[in-house]
Structure 1
């Protein structure tokens, strides 16, 4: 979390000084404050304890959570769990639009979850990587007949620690997100180049995902990565 760790530490120190030492009426807000968002008066359910155990085994620097972490994570799980036809319309266009809406709302919740956690040292993962870890864990939650959240901790831990994409790139791009971003690319290609991608095979999508990861890491211009871009361009020409 080298991209935001120092900023969060500054926020934490400024908040404590202004709010809890100087008692200012206007002060720096800190979503990770253990005093402002204490968990003393709420019950921490088993579903969250399972999450925290797995999370700490992946993000070793994670030290503590608060009421923000608990509440926003629960909101995220409820928001993103797949609940059938009502959540996923049969029309692809409507489904994509619905997913984008859910994705935006989910991102806001994940941002709060990430910054509400306190870390003893700077984590190896960046912010997007930590979000990816949370997403993978949350994918394993299920609701029982009484609408209680349950999770298989061992299976979840194995899937997170063994996720090849997360290990290689430091974050993941879900299949749904990949599909949305490829659709946007196709729309742009049609508008700018007046061509349409008729077939998106496995190799095309795999290369497209790799290019997205390279772009996020700023490695697109490296010589060793140009072959991937050229291969993707070649496949596009063949499929247009």
Structure 2
């Protein structure tokens, strides 16, 4: 599903990604682990086509991803802090997004809000949301159109214990239905619960690849 070959990414005189190679099969959940600055977020941006790489190739479903030309398709993405329209409701934010591709109807938006635990707050303006509620809305944006691929950078950030368990259930459901998932988490328990494979990054290099026992 996602093939990364010899990817190098530089920023001026600093190499952020060093010769990264990964093969992520369809329907698998792959975790990226590493300290801040290890290159995890930059790699996710490169997979999506949100940043230019200096050399190497990234292919998704056989099509090369090229910054400014070809971006990832049929995907749900959480990278850093996707913007909301803060002065309108959670429902309206999702409705505007849904109108871009016209893949989902109002009942699908409703189901997504129920699934993520936001239904009772759907009419509240996003500017009144807590950090955890905003994270749930990011998750709702990512999963609403039932994508083939989920690219999730620290999706558990800001969530309380019950919401973490709920998100784990949501992601497991997607995985079992054949969705390909790439995620990062600073808490290795999330990785171990969900992922089939793990890549450990350090200083922009992939220093270890592990296949987990339940894969």
Alignment TM-score > 0.5, same fold: no
The structure that is strand-richer by fraction is 2
TM range (shorter): under 0.3
**Which has the larger helix fraction?**
1
- TM-score normalized by the length of structure 1: 0.22
Higher relative contact order (CA 8 A, sep 6+): 2
Larger Rg: 1
